[in-house]
Structure 1
Amino acid sequence: MKRRTLVAVCVFATVAVWASDSPVSTTSEPGSPSESTAVTAAPGDIVILPCYSKDSVRPSRTRWLKDGSELGELRASEAVSGEGDGGQRRLVILEDGSLKFQTVAGGDEGVYLCEATLPGSMTWRARVVLQVANVPARHPECSWHLEADSAEMRFSCSWPGCYPDPMLIWSQVQDANHESGGFVLASEVASVLQVSLNRSLLAKGHTLRCVAQHLKLTTGQKRTCSLTLAMPHPEVSPLVWAQKGSNVTLVCTEASSAPPANTTWSRAPRGAPLAPGAKYALSQDGAAYSLTIVNVGWDDEGDYFCQSENPLALRQTEVYLSIRASTDYTGAIVGVFIATLIVGLSAVVAKLLFANRHRICLGGPFGPLESDRSDVLSLVDSDEEQIFQAAPRLPPIADARPTAMVQIHRLPSGEQEDAGNQSAREEPQQLVTL
């Protein structure tokens, strides 16, 4: 009977040694004679890692290793660390060889190996994987990715470093200011949750929110991330000029799209994107998408379209490229010269007109004005009133009845108005009695 017991103990020890040399496993197979278990705890919990638990046999000696490094030969009265409230031992080995954590802390997670010496100098080995629950202080990460089909978008929510896996919930709300509610798209206990949506399910201004729930999060604590949708809005200059034979660059700016839009250049509305090559060079600098046309010619003149597409919509804007030859500059110079000449001639004519303004006002614009005279009628009363300036006094009339008289004389021209011109003043007068 003793021989059978000894053989059984040897078999168990051999299996345990084989299990300790195998890769680390976080699960144990039911019915396995070796100990390979996984223990999950949260910071602050009391945890016991089991060692030998067969037939209530107490090991005579126990040694614990963590990730291949020995913790030390401890008994219940010894401790790895004396840290804790009131000097309480945080880590001790019990009489049955189990390792007890008075308070689990961050950093205690790992693979623990127990080597116990049983009666008869037999060795028992057990492996325990300790996993400590962890809730990262940061929020989950939300991202989006374009599918092969431009009408599809994949949204991803991840919370790395969290243990055990949280409950992730994707929902869609119409207003980002609403903390709750909305339509639930998907939910799962996992570290990463992805959901694919068609363009028909998305709308401008809607918000997709990922909420992470964990057993270690207290009431009121929230871990969320969100994405607010916005349509693309490409912007370009409507008209660009280029000289034949030169290189020209067309720039399109698109920074408002959410999710980010796929921006391309084409020659036709909703046409195939232009491919880079010897003729076209494509580049991107942040939100600016540039198209450089090399050695432009007459065939390059026309409309170019900047297209931006995301799952919400496809928007495009148009720019017209105008090509001009080098002779256009000569024509511009000639035009400037002619305009300057016209302005100069106008100034000369205006000066001449101003210098001869008295001739233009009193007579014709051309030729001498000496022969151009005007007849002036002066109406005077029969009373002894004097006629204008040099007109001689009229003799009295025998008839006492008042008589209106008209004196006709000629006024001298501009040059004859000089006070020294005596011949003009001695011109005979004509009187008409009315």
Structure 2
Amino acid sequence: MRARIVHWRSRRFQVVQSDRFTANLCSIYRLCRPKQVAMKVATSTALLQLYLYVTGAAVSGEGVGAAALGELGDGALLPCYPAGNATPIFTWWTRNGQEIIHRDLLAPPPTSSAGEHFLILDNGSLRVDGVTLSDEGTYVCGATFPNSSTQTSVQLQVAGGPQNVSTSISPATTLPNGTFIVSQGSNVSFNCSSSSYPSQNLSWVSPGNRSLVSGGGSWLDFRIKDVQPSDQGEYICGARNSLSHRTASQSTQLLVYYTPNRHPECLWKLSDDPSHVQFNCSWFGAYPTPTLLWGENHHGQGVSVEGHLYVSEETESLAVMLNRSLLFDGQMLKCMAHHPVLAPGQEASCLFTLKPPYPEGEPLVTALEGTNVTLVCTETSSLPPATTVWKRGTQQEDFKPGPKYVLSGDGPVFKLTIVNVSNEDEGVYFCRSENPLSISELEVYLTVKTSSAYTGAIIGIFLAILIVGSGAVIAKTLYSSRDRVCLGTGFGRLEEDRGDVLSLVESDEEEIFQDAVPRLPPTANGHQTTLVQIHRIPSSEHDDSEMAEASPQQQEDMVQTKEPVELVQF
């Protein structure tokens, strides 16, 4: 035991190189007593290192400052010296000029406790447990070796995060699993936030790993206007610590809901069982899949199917089979679509108000042999729209489309054209309309006539034209001879009187007759006699002036002068 002590003492004195400490060491700490050796060694070592620290004696070098990184809440390790694997016999650490811990490695190792924040390892390194922001600063390590001592500075930088990365989308509906739901055409805002120390960089990545936007700060957002189904997918917000380069991310799933820009479509068809009718309701192009309902609506109002509900299912196409005996005129069958995009009060539906069919057309049709004839049938009143076909004969045989029979339809008008009509085509034809409510038929009878059958009609038309023409000639003749008819000559003397000419001559010498017309004999030379009396009426101021300028004697002579009556005989 003494040999070990002496050996230790010789090494110790070589480091300290002080005669005063050598002379008094045994007497002060009584090293000759073996039981107190261990305690004295520890005490002397501590005092010696404290002396070296205060006086700075025998410092052989100083290490170059280094940098260390510590994560908040984690541990950090600060190296004390860069020299090999040598073990110092005494180590101390300061932070920002203040001592925080020291250790004599020749003494028994200290007992570590769970609450210790700083701990010096055997090689002199400083371990910091549970790094906090207050641990950031400049650390200095002093280490004493058997032959030298050294000091090293270390810059501890503290980094934290990124943590608490969160994302949000608005306006949107959030599902229990965190998925966000938006409606097609809306404007959507994306926001990302995170906390990091000392700083961070945030970025948004769209589906397909395409970078959208990036920047510093505690939050980052961007907007999508008029969002479309192509914008659906996973969006990732990434945060990166600018000091530690640690990264964190948060993904967000976006679903874009949409509905077709139309109402559901209601159709019907006959089932294999003639006593039943199948009603189909379809609404394709919606996401997610809508819920369709078939029911009976007694009032045709409201946003819900009133009355009896037949079937409901989450599907794009829904069919219901109904017994035809339960259907009646005026009954309302309604199909409704439920979808998350539809706001309260909005309705997407189609409605059948059942009405029986009623085909209309000409019941009697006549055609000339060898020509083409078209039978026309119109059906517009049925709901749902009826299926209309042409059939032939009492057995209602179906037509086979071909060059002889041409079937065509334009909306509610259905036509049957028979090419090169013959006597075999004569007979009864049926325009048959059927919808879920009932079946109605229009009976059309086709009569085929040959060309001889029209001979009598042609003769009748000719005679009618002849009679009308003769009447027109007679009427014209009477009109042109109306003066003779009015004078009473009658029709018998028209030819005899054609040579008689009546000439009336006006003369300025004629005077106005003031006396009464003489009575003439009824006949002259066996002919009737007509008296024609000609009067001359002054028509101008010139005549009046002439009468005024005449002498009274001349006016009297003019009045008293009488001219013999001129007789005109016919």
Please indicate the TM-score interval, normalised by the length of the shorter structure.
0.5 to 0.7
Between Structure 1 and Structure 2, the one with more helix by share is 2
Verify: 1:40 aligned to 2:151, yes or no. no
Number of residues paired by the alignment?
A: 282
Match of 2:437 among 312, 315, 323: 312
Please show how residues 51-130 of structure 1 align to structure 2 within 5 Å: 63-68=203-208, 69-75=210-216, 77-81=218-222, 106-107=227-228, 109-114=231-236, 128-130=252-254
Distance, in Å, in 2 between the alignment partners of 1:195 and 1:170 is 7
Verify: 1:252 aligned to 2:377, yes or no. yes
Match of 1:141 among 264, 274, 286: 264
Distance, in Å, in 1 between the alignment partners of 2:451 and 2:204 is 88
Contact 2:404 2:419 in 1 (8 A): yes
1:7-31 CA-to-partner distances (Å, cap 9, x unmatched) read: xxxxxxxxxxxxxxxxxxxxxxxxx
In structure 2, the gaps of 5 or more residues are 1-176, 469-570
Contact 1:60 1:116 in 2 (8 A): no
Shift of 1:130: 0.7
Q: For 2:367, give the aligned amino acid.
A: A
1:362-381 CA-to-partner distances (Å, cap 9, x unmatched) read: xxxxxxxxxxxxxxxxxxxx
Distance, in Å, in 1 between the alignment partners of 2:366 and 2:188 is 74
Query: Equivalent pairs: percent with the same residue?
Result: 37
Shift of 1:78: 5.0
Distance, in Å, in 2 between the alignment partners of 1:303 and 1:50 is 84
What secondary structure sits across from 2:381 in the alignment?
A: coil
Distance 1:252 1:335, change over 3 A: same
Q: For 1:71, give the aligned amino acid.
A: L
Q: For 1:203, give the aligned amino acid.
A: F
What secondary structure sits across from 2:398 in the alignment?
A: coil
1:372-427 CA-to-partner distances (Å, cap 9, x unmatched) read: xxxxxxxxxxxxxxxxxxxxxxxxxxxxxxxxxxxxxxxxxxxxxxxxxxxxxxxx
Verify: 1:261 aligned to 2:394, yes or no. no
Distance, in Å, in 2 between the alignment partners of 1:164 and 1:295 is 58
What secondary structure sits across from 2:415 in the alignment?
A: strand
What secondary structure sits across from 2:436 in the alignment?
A: coil
Q: For 1:153, give the aligned amino acid.
A: Q
Q: TM-score, normalised to structure 1's length?
A: 0.53
Contact 2:192 2:219 in 1 (8 A): no
Computed over aligned residues only, the root mean square deviation of the Cα atoms, in angstroms, reads 4.4
Distance, in Å, in 1 between the alignment partners of 2:441 and 2:269 is 19
Distance, in Å, in 2 between the alignment partners of 1:50 and 1:295 is 85
Shift of 1:312: 1.8
Verify: 1:278 aligned to 2:418, yes or no. no
In structure 1, the gaps of 5 or more residues are 1-35, 52-58, 82-89, 92-103, 344-434
Partner of 1:288: 413
Contact 1:232 1:261 in 2 (8 A): yes
Distance 1:303 1:178, change over 3 A: farther
Distance, in Å, in 1 between the alignment partners of 2:188 and 2:315 is 23
**Higher RCO, Cα 8 Å, sep 6+:** 1
Distance, in Å, in 1 between the alignment partners of 2:193 and 2:329 is 57
Distance 1:254 1:334, change over 3 A: same
Partner of 2:350: 225
1:201-240 CA-to-partner distances (Å, cap 9, x unmatched) read: 4322111112334556555444433222221111120111
Distance 1:203 1:39, change over 3 A: same
What secondary structure sits across from 1:249 in the alignment?
A: strand
Distance 1:288 1:41, change over 3 A: closer
Contact 1:280 1:292 in 2 (8 A): yes
Q: For 2:448, give the aligned amino acid.
A: I
Contact 1:302 1:321 in 2 (8 A): yes
Shift of 1:174: 4.1
| Larger-Rg structure | 2
Contact 2:359 2:378 in 1 (8 A): yes
